[in-house]
Structure 1
Amino acid sequence: MRDITTALLDWYDVHAREMPWRVMPSDRKAGVLPDPYAVWLSEVMLQQTTVAAVRDYHRKFTQIWPTVNDLATANDADVMAAWAGLGYYARARNLLKCARAIVADHDGTFPQSYDALIALPGIGPYTAAAISAIAFDEPSTVLDGNVERVMARLYNDATPLPAAKPVFMDYAQRHTSQKRAGDYAQAVMDLGATICTPKSPACGICPLLEDCKARTAGTQATLPKKTPKKPKPTRHGIAYIARSADGAWLLETRPDKGLLGGMLGWPTTEWNDDPAGLEPVSGDWIELPDHARHTFTHFHLILRVHILVLAHDANPSRGHFIPDDKFAPSSLPTVMQKAYTLAAATLRTL
């Protein structure tokens, strides 16, 4: 197969997507360098999340914490609240760990090499490769879902994912550019996101049309193959949403480890097949007829919602009160926001 670098970079020079963290190819050629902090932040946020969902979060974070030093000194609760709604909350905890490691161990300057980056908390092989390539023009090979799809079709390889990952990495390494490495890494990802899409790829306008073996074979729409996933189980739980007599809300910070770790939320039971009642305070709890439903990576969750207005002398065994004028539902994880939506109207009238 011919070298695809020139064709892909020529296409990218014209069709690169504008993003808050990206230096456009014309500016990069003129000597404008990417901000490693902005690149790192975007790559962490983009893990299992779409560009459309990340744009506003990225702008918010860089406005509140413009540098890695600012983020390293941020209050954990403030960062977790700003992350709320983006999901996969371990990323936010690792974000803080990584920022603090960069300040403590690297004087607030991002290391440039793949090996140094991957040694930082929360940075895996893909993220290390992406940062070193995009921010520092190191010829590191990026392999995300978009690149896997491009390589599967380019070579017409029906090996199913995830077993095919090493195979697709080998293909991607063959084409990793030694020049304009950052632009090339973004170009191949943009190609997968905008042209070589999962459904109905726009092959007619693809810069690699002549090189694509799947296009020649007519198999492009069927690739990459994937090993069927097992059905997700369904778990159950109870969310306890209570207000004090003066209107404050009873919330708790979840343990650092585990799902939604470190996030603010309603007291709940364990999430399993048969949750036992673990009320944070005794009282005549009212169960709402509707349930809060949410899907995580590995399971579906159905939360029954119990509500209560507390007596003046109530002494909860769990949680702490947040005054109504200090409480922002948007600071809660999505599943907790769903429970709040069900409970709020009724609680405000009790």
Structure 2
Amino acid sequence: MNYLHKFDIISFQNDLLAWYEHHQRKLPWRENKDPYSIWISEIMLQQTKVDTVIPYFNRFKQLFPTVFDLAKADEQAVLKAWEGLGYYSRARNLHHAAKQIVEQYDGVMPSNPKELGALKGIGPYTKGAILSIAFNQPEPAVDGNVMRVYSRLLKIEENIADQKVRKLFESVVRETIAVQDPSSFNQAVMELGALVCTPKSPSCLLCPVQQYCRAFQEGIESELPIKSKAKKQRVIPYVVLLLEKANGSYAIQQRPSEGLLANLWQFPMIPIAEIGFDHIENWVQAEYGLTIQLGKKCGELRHVFSHIIWEIEIYHAQVIEDEEDHAFQFVLKEELDTYPFPTSHINIMKKMED
């Protein structure tokens, strides 16, 4: 199907770019075309809102002002700078790719699509965003935001969760991109999706390209895009222990180097569905060689990931006696903030006084 049949590409480009010139938000990564800044911002903006990203971006650039600074940084320092942003594999991939850029390209981000796409953590969308925004190449940058805009604009009634459909969107974006200013064009589409063509209740009456929008003309803008339902998330219950020694230090442990929240730190997590609440003390003794006394409950927490949900009950606990060889590190309360924790455990930390 030719979605661009009788679609006025030139007028669409002109109207969209004119709107963007006057309505674009002032964002720190838009101050120049620095590829390093644009790369960091694009990685941070995956699964995270702009308002949340701004302070993280500014702090990250202060800590690691150049790709050389990031490449030579300790991974724990990078994870600490990322703490609270979530999806921590993004930070690890960013760190790894910085080393690749320094080692393979003398610290200069490659502008070649194949070389750029070979860097760790740079998928088709991020590659297109960097090539177009930083290097002004007419490359499509297609994410969920862009697919939403184009599905309404061209009335594309395909399931955007299907990987094959992404190729369709890349094709129509490539054909409609303004080759004289691809940097502004791609950012304009993203901005339109963020400010006007929103997921719910799009502001069609304020849309600068409303006259080209087929979904608006047919009154079906709220029905698009079509996206299949995600699989139901699995719920996993845990008891988390604020496990304290007599000297006021707390037990923390580092998560494995692979998988969910890799290399971050956490308080002891007890898989309560497997253990049973009455067996917590025995399980900790058998698993870690620590004799503990369970104290009072001090809170509950529900943390949602894309594929699972943690349902957490938080308990104080005291160490009665311990062996030297165990997987925990005991850290004084005032030193905890030097370790990178996931958001769920930052919130657990707040329960220490309860």
1:156 Cα deviation from its structure 2 partner: 1.3
Structure with the largest fraction of helix: 2
- Does 1:18 find its partner at 2:17? no
Range with bigger deviation, 183-192 or 279-288: 279-288
Contact 2:243 2:251 in 1 (8 A): yes
Distance in 2 (CA, whole Å) between partners of 1:266 and 1:184 is 46
Match of 1:28 in 2: none
For 1:274, the equivalent position in structure 2 comes to 274
Matched residue SS, 1:274: helix
Secondary structure (helix, strand or coil) at the match of 1:241 reads strand
User: In the alignment, which residue of structure 1 is the partner of 2:208?
Assistant: 207
Query: In 2, distance between residues paired with 1:42 and 1:64?
Result: 15
- Are the structure 2 counterparts of residues 314 and 340 from structure 1 closer, same or farther at C-alpha, using a change threshold of 3 Å? farther
What does residue range 180-195 of structure 1 map to in structure 2 within 5 Å? 180-195=181-196
Residue 237 of structure 1 contacts residue 268 of structure 1 at CA under 8 Å; is this kept in 2?
yes
Q: Partners of 2:243 and 2:140 in 1: how far apart?
A: 51
Partner of 2:43: helix, strand, or coil? helix
Aligned residues: percent identity? 34
For 1:83 and 1:345, the matched residues in 2 are separated by: 26
Q: Note the aligned Cα RMSD (angstroms).
A: 2.0
Change in CA separation of 1:282 and 1:252 when aligned onto 2, cut-off 3 Å = same
Query: Cα offset for 1:17?
Result: 1.2
**AA matched with 2:308:** F
Matching residue of 1:30: none
What is residue 2 of structure 1 aligned with on the other side?
A: 8
SS of 1:310 mapped into structure 2: strand
1:302 counterpart residue number: 311
How far apart are the structure 2 equivalents of 1:294 and 1:109?
Answer: 39
Report the CA distance shift for 1:16/1:92 in structure 2 as closer, same or farther (over 3 A): same
Q: Which residue of 2 aligns with 1:251?
A: 252
Where is the strand percentage greater, Structure 1 or Structure 2?
2
Q: Mean alpha-carbon deviation: is it higher for 261-270 or for 175-184?
A: 261-270
Moved more, 64-73 or 227-236: 227-236
Are 2:303 and 2:309, in contact at CA under 8 Å, matched by a contact in 1?
yes
In structure 2, how many angstroms separate the alpha carbons of the residues matched to 1:60 and 1:289?
A: 33
Aligned residues: 335
- Contact 1:36–1:135 at 8 Å: present in 2 too? yes
How big is the shift at 1:114? 2.0
Counterpart contact for 2:70–2:95, Cα < 8 Å? yes
CA distance in 2: counterparts of 1:325 and 1:337, whole angstroms? 13
Q: How does 1:68-147 map to 2 (within 5 A)?
A: 68-147=67-146
Distance 1:221 1:211 in 2: 16
1:337 matched to which residue of 2?
A: 346
**1:149-298 equivalence runs, <5 A:** 149-163=148-162, 164-270=165-271, 273-275=273-275, 277=280, 278-279=283-284, 280=288, 281-286=290-295, 288=297, 290-298=299-307
Q: For 1:114 and 1:147, locate their aligned partners in 2 and report how far apart those are by CA, in whole Å.
A: 20
Question: Aligned partners of 2:257, 2:82: CA distance in 1, in Å?
Answer: 15
Conserved in 1, the CA contact under 8 Å of 2:232 and 2:307? no
- Which runs of 5 or more residues in structure 1 are unaligned? 24-32
Secondary structure (helix, strand or coil) at the match of 2:134 reads helix
Rounded to whole Å, the distance in 2 between the matches of 1:200 and 1:215 is: 12
Unaligned stretches of 5+ residues in structure 2: 1-6
The whole-number CA distance in structure 1 between the counterparts of 2:120 and 2:230 is 29
With normalisation by structure 1, the TM-score equals 0.90
Query: Within 1, Cα distance between the matches of 2:265 and 2:223?
Result: 43
Give the TM-score normalised by the residue count of structure 2.
0.89
* Cα contact 1:238–1:275 (8 A) shared by 2: no
Which residue is 1:27 aligned to?
A: none
Secondary structure of 2:217's counterpart equals: helix
Q: Within 1, Cα distance between the matches of 2:35 and 2:102?
A: 14
